[in-house]
Amino acid sequence: MVTMLDVAKKAGVSKATVSRVLTGNNYVSKTTRERVFWAIEEIGYRPNLLARQLATNKSQCIGLVVTNTLYSGPYFSELLFQTATMMEKYGRQLIMADGKHSAEEEREAIQFLLDLRCDAVIIYPRFLSIDALESIIEQHEQPIMVVNRTLHQHSDNGICADHQQHSCDAVKYLITQGHHDIAFICGSANSPTGTSRLAGYRQALAENGIPCIDSLIAVGNWTYDSGYTATKALLQQAPTFSALVASNDDMAIGAAKALREHGFVLPQDISLLGFDDLPMASWFYPPLTTVHVPVAEMIKYTLEKLLSRLEGETLLPVPDFKGELIIRDSVSKGPAA
pLDDT at 291: 96
CATH class of 61-160: alpha beta
What does each C-alpha distance from 154 to 110, 145, 197, 200, 313 come to in angstroms?
Answer: 17, 10, 24, 25, 18
What does each C-alpha distance from 18 to 3, 23, 29, 34, 275 come to in angstroms?
Answer: 11, 9, 12, 11, 47
Rg of the chain taking only CA atoms, in angstroms: 24
Q: What are the residue ranges of CATH 3.40.50.2300 in the chain?
A: 61-160, 163-293
pLDDT at 69: 72
17-26 contacts, C-beta under 8 A, 24 or more apart: 22/47, 22/52, 23/52, 23/56, 23/58, 23/60, 23/91, 24/60, 24/90, 24/91, 24/92, 25/91, 26/90, 26/91
pTM for the structure as a whole: 0.77
pLDDT at 138: 92
Fold of the CATH domain 4-47: 434 Repressor (Amino-terminal Domain) (1.10.260)
Low-confidence ranges of the chain (pLDDT < 70): 23-26, 47-59, 70-75, 238, 313-318
pLDDT at 50: 45
* Residue 330 burial (CB count, 10 A): 24
Q: What are the residue ranges of CATH 1.10.260.40 in the chain?
A: 4-47
Quote the percentage of the chain above a pLDDT of 90.
Answer: 48
Q: Does domain 163-293 have CATH number 3.40.50.2300?
A: yes
